[in-house]
Structure 1
Amino acid sequence: MKKSSRAFKALWAGEIVSEFGGAAGAIINGLVLYEITGSKEWMGVLWLVYFIPSLILQMVSSPFLNHVEKGKMLKNIQLIRSISYTLPLLGYWAFSNTGAITGLVLLQCILGLLQPIYASLAFSLLPDICKEDELAAANGLLDGTLRLMAFIAPGVTTLLLVVMPMQCIYVISAMMYFISFLSLSRIQVKLNQRIPAWTKKFWWAEMKLGYKIFFQKPKLVRLTFLSSSVQFAVGASMVLSVPFIRGDLKGETWEYAIFSGCFSVGYALGTLLLRKLPRNNQVMYLGLVGGGVSFIMLFFVHLTSFAWLCELFGGTLFPLYNANSAAIFQKEAPRERLSQLSAVRLLFFRSTTPLGILFASSQFIHFSSREIYLIVGTLIAAPGLFYFFSAFGEKENNLLDVQNSVNKTEGTS
């Protein structure tokens, strides 16, 4: 971290505070809406308002992202988010419950629209502000920090609720995003290319070309679909975790709280482990296999303490795959197309999570929670094992070999 560039430190600091603000805000969104309506249907509407516009924009926005100034766009998004978090509070003060619900819906819609743009640009910005041999560590540090903040934020929010009305948390979330805006303002990355005149024909041609280039890169497609299988399992786990701990294992509320936090703690540990291990394909796919096995192990456990260990184990190993596969994507995607291709990559991730939710919650699929854990874990571990053993036969096993060989060739030409 000490050797990282100033721009990366600014991005990292901005991500930390915004993740805390977003996690705290998400908790309050649910609490405020349920207190007003007492309806789980309204909770579903709130998430649909977030997901549907987000996925639609994700599908069609990729051509725009190649032709924006990334640092400037990222900080502007954080400023808009900061302002948006005041909408429920303003609605509550002005129009009471109806205004609060309207503010919540507007907030969720804005967050859903901005999230895919922000995530794609932040992902594609890393190669511009980090050295290539630092990308895996940088991805791991960002991902691990965000997971840790997602674990810390609920506890801190609970303490804040003891001393202030829950609507006031929106002010804290707005402040966190404004601090993120200030931090990201320190990033200076210029776009060294001419921006073509914007026309409908240009947009359509660019979008088709982006998807075409993506599917012409077999390694990028393979890594994206392997990561999507993980997101499918995450979606299923969102449905299963409470009934599994509270129902199957007869656990208490506090035992579920520990279960939900073990993965984030493990992920932070995995980020540290990532720095100690060689960056090769075997280690990368071993992380994928281990993560899948952690789901499979839940099929066999009968004590909550063992379930905690499964989550801790999975959280520790998944960063080995996630950070290294992200680094490969950032290196091998054409630099001038990275923002666009990262948007395509993120589209698959965000699409498979709702599919996992539907799979685990469908009334037409008669599997127990344990059986679903076994199925989704096998979907991750089986291809991971195949590619793990295949990696032993690859000539270029080290993740940096491809780039190093290119540099050597250029140096001798």
Structure 2
Amino acid sequence: MAFGDFVKRHLVDTRPLSVPAYRRLWAGQAVSHLGLAVTFVAVSQQVYELTGSSFWVGMLGLANLIPLVVFGLWGGAVADAVDRRKLLVAGSLVAWASTVLILLQALLGAPNVYALLGTVALGAAGFAVSSSTRGAIIPRLLPPELVPSANALNSLVYSLGAIGGPMLGGVVLVHGGFAAAYAVDAVLFSAGLYAALRLPALAPLGAVSRPGWRSVAEGLRFILTTPVLVMSFVVDIIAMVFALPRALFPELIDLRFGGSLYALSWLVASMAVGAVVGGLFSGWVTRVKRQGLALTFVIAVWGLAVAAAGLSQQLWLVLLFMAVGGAADVVSSVWRQSILQLYAPDEMRGRMQGVFMVVVAGGPRLGDVRAGATASMFGLTTAWVGGGLACAVVVLIVGLSVAAFRTYRAR
């Protein structure tokens, strides 16, 4: 096979970037996601300096989670009833306003932990609405065969941001302080806002339901009566709740590698590094048609990679297996999102993205609770390795037992 053919078949498919509206949206996400990561690092450090308590730093997670759940569901319902371009602009403005407010408190030199938590919650609400809406917009901008490729490109952006954003945040904090970090976010966020403003009008298609909690309930009923969609969420919950070992990272580093902060930082970044590699070599992913079956097996690979990392005694092996897990995770996210965007009719896509937001936000946190609780009862190795193996076994049993999901072919 010629090198050019290899590149075309295996490297990330960039064809969606030939569509100007999607290209602007993707580039806006890439830039603004860096700024979001900078603020995440800065606000965590500022809350800790204000309170001296990890409890209050942990409360930032709650301040994010509640709005993500509530406004993810509500925003998805609204996205099915109004012009999605206008809603994306509105959600982006709310998120941008929260960044400006947090910048002002830093400039005024009057920080307050409750004000910071409230501002973070406001930003999470805007993020939830805009993210749900953006996910529903992509199938309107691209032909169906390019949607999986677009999701691979989106995953690549998030993974790169997960690596580069915290690094940029650390540098800015050291040299410029909190105000400089928040100012970076406010400036970079303008790229995402510009992309939203340049979108064409995206009025609703098909039947329109009045936005509200009754509309949310309709969306949930649609999911629960559609086995393919139910399973796309179930397998993700299995992956995160059973196998995510994030809460065990500090204990593993302490017990096996002498508590090295460098080792911890590498471990934290290892999944994102694997996700970047997986995203770069995702060309084959977009050609898979039996996405339900493939999704089942790739989540089993994720579980086995996590289990192997938990058994490894050398740091490089732990990092390698967690990177493999990160690559498997990014592949699974492409297929899950593609199933969700293409299987549901357009008038349901906003609500589907809202539920997706809730699962993505809640699953990892439930996984943290599971990992911490089982480690306290049965020890680190049992919690880590047992969770990975349980994920692989359970997802194979569940995924292969549902015929509609097992035989699903990409539309």
Q: TM-score range by the shorter chain?
A: 0.7 to 0.9
Q: 1:264 aligns with which of 267, 272, 275?
A: 272
Seq. identity, %? 19
Q: Tell me: CA distance 1:260–1:204, structure 2 relative to 1, closer, same or farther (3 Å).
A: closer
Please state how far the C-alpha of 1:370 moved relative to its aligned partner.
2.1
Please state how far the C-alpha of 1:32 moved relative to its aligned partner.
1.0
Query: In the comparison of the two structures, how many residue pairs are matched?
Result: 394
Aligned-CA RMSD value:
2.8
Report the residue type matching 1:295 in the other structure. Answer: V
Please state how far the C-alpha of 1:307 moved relative to its aligned partner.
0.7
> Structure 2: how far apart are the matches of 1:387 and 1:364?
25
RCO (CA 8 Å, sep 6+): is it higher in 1 or 2?
Answer: 2
What TM-score results when the alignment is normalised by the length of structure 1? 0.86
> Structure 1: how far apart are the matches of 2:332 and 2:206?
36
Report the residue type matching 2:61 in the other structure. Answer: W
Matching of residue 161 in structure 1 with residue 170 in structure 2 = no
- SS of alignment partner, residue 83 of structure 1: helix
Q: 1:34 aligns with which of 44, 48, 51?
A: 48
- SS of alignment partner, residue 298 of structure 1: helix
Determine the structure 1 residue equivalent to 2:216. 207
**Conserved? CA contact 1:81–1:174, under 8 Å:** no
Matching of residue 83 in structure 1 with residue 97 in structure 2 = yes
- SS of alignment partner, residue 187 of structure 1: coil
> Structure 2: how far apart are the matches of 1:303 and 1:139?
34
Please state how far the C-alpha of 1:367 moved relative to its aligned partner.
2.5
User: Structure 1 runs of 4+ off > 6 angstroms?
Assistant: 194-197, 387-391, 393-396
Determine the structure 2 residue equivalent to 1:133. 145
- SS of alignment partner, residue 203 of structure 2: coil
Please state how far the C-alpha of 1:293 moved relative to its aligned partner.
1.0
Q: Deviations over 1:58-80 (max 9, x none)?
A: 45554323112222222332232
- SS of alignment partner, residue 194 of structure 2: helix
- SS of alignment partner, residue 96 of structure 1: coil
Q: Which moved more, 1:29-38 or 1:157-166?
A: 157-166
Matching of residue 152 in structure 1 with residue 169 in structure 2 = no
Q: Deviations over 1:373-408 (max 9, x none)?
A: 2233234312443477779x99996833xx3xxxxx
Runs of 5+ unmatched residues, structure 1: 404-413
**Conserved? CA contact 1:25–1:173, under 8 Å:** yes
- SS of alignment partner, residue 168 of structure 2: helix
Please state how far the C-alpha of 1:132 moved relative to its aligned partner.
0.8
Report the residue type matching 1:348 in the other structure. Answer: V
Determine the structure 2 residue equivalent to 1:399. 409
Matching of residue 361 in structure 1 with residue 372 in structure 2 = yes
Give the 5 Å matches for 1:24-63: 24-63=38-77
Report the residue type matching 1:254 in the other structure. Answer: Y
Determine the structure 1 residue equivalent to 2:186. 174
Report the residue type matching 2:409 in the other structure. Answer: L
Q: Deviations over 1:58-109 (max 9, x none)?
A: 45554323112222222332232222113233224446233xx344122211
- SS of alignment partner, residue 284 of structure 2: coil
Q: Tell me: CA distance 1:168–1:152, structure 2 relative to 1, closer, same or farther (3 Å).
A: same
Please state how far the C-alpha of 1:123 moved relative to its aligned partner.
1.4
Q: Tell me: CA distance 1:317–1:208, structure 2 relative to 1, closer, same or farther (3 Å).
A: closer
